[in-house]
């Protein structure tokens, strides 16, 4: 199973997106990151609707691997894993563009 969490945003429904993948928590590099992508995360976390999809490590830089990038959700998917993206792996690139999510919940 893939677990998602939002960190450093003051609630469980806002913050830097982190994905537990292959035994480690990592982040998403926010190339093409937008409200449709955030909407899927909010749905998966049962946090209501997406309010914003901040980029540029708005909620601080994460640590660990970058799990994916170039996420392109239509906004209707039930889970982030269903969205088109770069293949999921552990990449070592900069955390200066970690993806964030703010949900209504």
CATH number of the domain where residue 18 is located = 3.10.250.10
Domain of residue 85, residue span: 3-103
Does the pLDDT of residue 71 top 70, yes or no?
Answer: yes
pTM of the model: 0.95
Name the domain count of the chain.
1
What Å distances lie between residue 93 and 9, 23, 60, CA to CA? 23, 18, 15
58-69 confidence digits (pLDDT tens): 999 999 999 999
13-38 confidence digits (pLDDT tens): 999 999 999 999 999 999 999 999 99
Using an 8 Å Cβ cutoff, are 61 and 22 in contact? no
- What whole-number distance in Å separates Cα of residue 17 and Cα of residue 21? 13
Using an 8 Å Cβ cutoff, are 64 and 19 in contact? no
The secondary element (H helix, E strand) that includes residue 35 is helix 35-44
DSSP label at residue 53: -
Per the DSSP assignment, residues forming a β-bridge with 28 are: 68
Does the pLDDT of residue 2 top 80, yes or no?
Answer: no
């Amino acid at each position: 199973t893939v677990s998602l969490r939002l960190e450093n945003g003051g609630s469980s429904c806002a913050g830097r997106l982190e994905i537990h993948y292959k035994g480690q928590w990592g982040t998403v590099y926010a190339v093409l990151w937008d409200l449709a992508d955030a909407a899927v995360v909010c749905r998966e976390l049962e946090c209501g609707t997406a309010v914003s999809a901040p980029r540029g490590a708005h909620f601080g830089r994460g640590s660990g691997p970058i799990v994916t990038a170039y996420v392109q959700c239509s906004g209707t998917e039930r889970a982030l894993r269903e969205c088109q993206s770069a293949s999921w792996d552990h990449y070592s690139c900069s955390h200066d563009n970690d993806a964030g999510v703010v949900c209504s919940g």
